[in-house]
Copies of this chain bind each other. A is one copy, B any other.
């Protein structure tokens, strides 16, 4: 076997041009583009691991990936980064590319992930933010949204705010318990922004929390009902799922 070196890199991407992060035959994905660049550079297939798989239309600012490269093909991480960026830009850009120990894994070594969700809360749309925000015309009560999100802090079963993965018959479905470390709405210039950090997230969790937050902000859901929604452990107890374009994976923590 060829000796390999493990690489860690941070990735930013404009999700609007991709069918999500994870490789998916026949459609353009972020991982698919990076793996194609690596195959060209390394002259052999390279599989990448990421800290958080993002859905179609979701953006990345500080996604983290790891992968192994043959030492006879790659000697300098800075040069590797420039080669990948030449092949993947402008929609995908790698930075902070370094060699790491073989026990580092972008997914399993991560201790937290932080996402940001941007809402444009005003009457008129903004063409320069199209595909980057969720446009909500009716005024939002940000204090009520924060009162609601206060209830999701800490460890909870997030079945009501996520999609349970399909498992084969007889298999135990994976735990939906997650620990939320931060969850706060704030007004930043013209945008209403949700910042949420958790050890990890169940599928569609941020967009579900945002959808319910917005329903609270519009007065359709009472913020005091969140504990009951969590306790129901039923997807139908929560509000709608916010559209993907407002969501960005901001950064990932490692010890």
A93:B132 contact, CB within 8 angstroms: no
A90:B127 contact, CB within 8 angstroms: yes
> Does A248 lie at the interface of the complex (its beta carbon under 8 Å from any beta carbon of B)?
yes
Stoichiometry (number of copies): 2
Give the CA-CA distance A13 to B93 in the complex, in Å: 26
Q: How many residues of chain A get a CB closer than 8 Å to chain B's CBs?
A: 22
> Does A168 lie at the interface of the complex (its beta carbon under 8 Å from any beta carbon of B)?
no
Minimum C-beta distance from A132 to chain B (A):
7
A127:B92 contact, CB within 8 angstroms: yes
Task: Name the B residues within 8 Å of A13 (CB-CB).
Answer: 127
Task: Name the B residues within 8 Å of A91 (CB-CB).
Answer: 127, 130
Task: Name the B residues within 8 Å of A85 (CB-CB).
Answer: 125
Task: Name the B residues within 8 Å of A90 (CB-CB).
Answer: 125, 127, 130-131
Choose one: B93, B123, B130; the contact of A14 (CB below 8 Å). B130
B89:A128 contact, CB within 8 angstroms: no
Give the CA-CA distance A90 to B68 in the complex, in Å: 42
Rank and list the top 7 A-B pairs by shortest CB-CB distance, nearest first: A95-B124, A14-B127, A90-B130, A93-B125, A91-B127, A12-B127, A13-B127
Q: Which A residues contact B (CB, under 8 angstroms)?
A: 12-14, 59, 61, 85, 89-93, 95, 123-128, 130-132, 248
A14-B128, A89-B127, A90-B130 provided; 14 other pairs, C-beta below 8 A? A12-B124, A12-B127, A12-B128, A13-B127, A14-B127, A85-B125, A90-B127, A91-B127, A91-B130, A93-B124, A93-B125, A93-B126, A95-B123, A128-B132
